[in-house]
Structure 1
Amino acid sequence: MITGYCVNGETVALSTAEPPSALRPDLVWIDLVEPTKAEDLMIEGLLGIPIPTRDDLRDIEPSSRLYTDDGAVFMTASLVYRSDTEMPGLTDVGFILAGKCLVTVRYAEPRAFGLFKAGMHRIPGGCRNGAVILTRLLETIVDRTAEILEQAVDRIDDLALQVFGDKTSGRRHRPPHFLEARLRDVAGHHRLVAKTRDSLASLSRLLTFVYTVPDVQADKETRELCRTVSRDIQSLSEHTAFISGNITFLLDASLGLINVEQNAIIKIFSIASVVLLPPTLVASVYGMNFRIMPELEWQFGYPWALAAMVLSAVIPFFFFRWKGWL
């Protein structure tokens, strides 16, 4: 699907069924979403530049992600998408500055693009050219990334309350396998933050390259905005490192609490075995089948054996209570 946007904010649909002979002169942004081969060829013919394919966007070599070819500037960044689901991921998006027009090539729907399209009419000074669209779009992407991190922090705080417990709720006992389930939640948060950190690193490299583009250098407002977005990316990267540290602490704490609960269970079994050991000894003594055992002829031998077994169990129990081991 191909959608074009003009200087005045008008939306233009471009289709291979009725391909235009030329692009409108006021067209400043062409957005290609999961383009077909025919759509790629149509835009290549209209602009005279190659359109990167999905495999080209996936290239991890920096020299293949940021370069200039025949006057056009080609850039690729990895953006976070599906951040509200259990399986967030990264999608590679291509940005191409061809003259006064910006071309974006993407095979996913990051929410930042929808937010930017909804707020295009509020851009100060309007959408004058592709360089302005690019920097404003990158600003929206970074703002969306900051929102993702804020949501991640809130979820991690809620998870910490679940792991350590809320003193005001008065709950002391957790259901079985509760902490094991929280470990899966920690893994999900770690995946989201790791993907966000990779995206910020990709955006940082792209912004450094964008700052050197002549069309950006020629516009003071765009140049300053590019510098501001770069500083925002740096601060978000530092914040991401802090969040990663909190996730690591939460993971270690969850594993420690699991070990504490397991040790408590083992402690109960150990104390129970020690408490029952003296009665077992008494029962074993009087259960021997020797011919000469004076106690076997006692009238009160059976009650005496039972009392000895009870006392030998009760005395260690209260001793452990006195020592604070229970």
Structure 2
Amino acid sequence: MIRAYHVDGKAEIIQAAEPRDALEADILWLDLIHPDLAEEALVERLLGIPLPTREDLKDIEPSSRLYVEDGGIYMTASLVWRAENPLAELTDVAFILAGNRLVTIRYAEPRAFALFSAALLRTHGKCRTGAELMARLLETIVDRTAEVLEIGIARLDELSATVFVDRKAAKRRPPRFLEDKLIDIAGHHRLVSKARDSLVSLSRLVVFLRSLPKVREDQEAEELCSVIAHDIQSLSEHAAFVSNNITFLLDASLGLINVEQNAIIKIFSIASVVFLPPTLVASIYGMNFQFMPELAWTHGYAIALVAMLLSAIIPFLFFRWKGWL
């Protein structure tokens, strides 16, 4: 799908089958969402520049993500999406400055784009150049990344409150409670890690963008990029702090698990010590009597087997009920 945004904030959908020889002069932004070959060919013909393919966006080399070619400025950044889901992901988005227009190519729908397009429709005529429009879009993306970090912090605080409780509350926990929380900690770490990777990608993009003469000549875009660079640096430091907190929570959870396991082993050790003397006495004297009435029982052997089986099953069920296994 090709969504076109005009300077006055009006938006329209451009169909690949439409007979169109040129774009309107007031179209400032072309947003390509899951474009097919026909839509890519149409935009390439209208703009006169080649578009990167989906495979090109996955290239991690800086020379393949930030470059100038055929009059177009090509930039690729990795953005966080599906932050509300347990498994956050990164998606690669291409930003292209072609003349005075911004072209974006994406195969996912990060929430920052929906927020920015909605704001763009409300603020008619606020952006006059493609460089300024891209700077404001990057500003929204960075704000959304900050929101993702806040989501991770809120989840981490909630998880920390459930892990660190008093002894009475800890005793009421179901078995393997802390082991299950390790999976939640891994999910929070993944979210923060994806946010940090996105910030690194955005930092490289902003540095490249600020080095362009087109941006340096645009005072509004230059000031926005300066603010964005400062915000990215602050968020990167904050993400590192959150990552350290996650590491602490992981270490603390593992420590609590070890404490609980040591307590269970202590109980088993005490039980072994308690029953060891009777076992020793039975082994020495139990089979050395001349008369044993049980030997004459018709079903004595079967009864002995059942007694041995019950003596193994009953302690196992008891330990399982106490949550020691």
Q: TM-score range by the shorter chain?
A: 0.7 to 0.9
2:243 is aligned with 1:241:
no
Question: Counterpart in 1 of 2:215?
Answer: 216
The 1-side partners of 2:251 and 2:228 are apart by 35
Question: Is the contact between residue 19 and residue 42 of structure 1 (CA under 8 Å) also seen in structure 2?
Answer: no
Question: Counterpart in 2 of 1:202?
Answer: 201
Question: Counterpart in 1 of 2:183?
Answer: 184
Amino acid at match of 1:173: R
CA offsets, 1:143-193, max 9 Å, x none? 0000000010010111111112268x8453320111111011111111111
Range that drifts further, 255-264 or 4-13? 255-264
Question: Is the contact between residue 73 and residue 98 of structure 2 (CA under 8 Å) also seen in structure 1?
Answer: yes
- Are the structure 2 counterparts of residues 278 and 166 from structure 1 closer, same or farther at C-alpha, using a change threshold of 3 Å? closer
The 1-side partners of 2:260 and 2:19 are apart by 68
Amino acid at match of 2:273: V
Aligned residues: 290
> CA offset at residue 250 of structure 1?
1.1
- Are the structure 2 counterparts of residues 214 and 166 from structure 1 closer, same or farther at C-alpha, using a change threshold of 3 Å? farther
Question: Counterpart in 2 of 1:263?
Answer: 262
Amino acid at match of 1:205: R
The 1-side partners of 2:120 and 2:4 are apart by 13
Q: Secondary structure at the match of 1:140?
A: helix
CA offsets, 1:59-117, max 9 Å, x none? 11101100111321110000011111122111100000011100000000000000001
The 1-side partners of 2:181 and 2:219 are apart by 49
Question: Counterpart in 2 of 1:153?
Answer: 153
Q: Secondary structure at the match of 2:171?
A: coil
Amino acid at match of 1:89: E
TM-score (ref. length: structure 1): 0.85
The 1-side partners of 2:260 and 2:271 are apart by 17
Identity of aligned residues (%): 63
Question: Counterpart in 2 of 1:129?
Answer: 129
CA offsets, 1:272-324, max 9 Å, x none? 11122233334445425167xxxxxxxxxxxxxxxxxxxxxxxxxxxxxxxxx
Q: Secondary structure at the match of 1:119?
A: helix
Question: Counterpart in 2 of 1:58?
Answer: 58
The 2-side partners of 1:36 and 1:3 are apart by 13
Question: Is the contact between residue 81 and residue 109 of structure 1 (CA under 8 Å) also seen in structure 2?
Answer: yes
Range that drifts further, 261-270 or 281-290? 281-290
Question: Counterpart in 2 of 1:7?
Answer: 7
CA offsets, 1:200-259, max 9 Å, x none? 000000000111222221122221110000010001111111111111111111111111
2:94 is aligned with 1:94:
yes
- Unaligned residue ranges in structure 2 (runs of 5+): 291-325
Question: Counterpart in 2 of 1:19?
Answer: 19
Aligned alpha-carbon RMSD (Å): 1.7
- Unaligned residue ranges in structure 1 (runs of 5+): 292-326
Question: Counterpart in 1 of 2:286?
Answer: 287
> CA offset at residue 18 of structure 1?
0.9
Range that drifts further, 125-134 or 143-152? 125-134
- Are the structure 2 counterparts of residues 124 and 207 from structure 1 closer, same or farther at C-alpha, using a change threshold of 3 Å? farther
Question: Is the contact between residue 8 and residue 125 of structure 2 (CA under 8 Å) also seen in structure 1?
Answer: no
Question: Counterpart in 2 of 1:141?
Answer: 141
Question: Counterpart in 1 of 2:231?
Answer: 232
The 2-side partners of 1:22 and 1:4 are apart by 13
The 2-side partners of 1:186 and 1:125 are apart by 45
The 2-side partners of 1:10 and 1:96 are apart by 21
Question: Counterpart in 2 of 1:312?
Answer: none
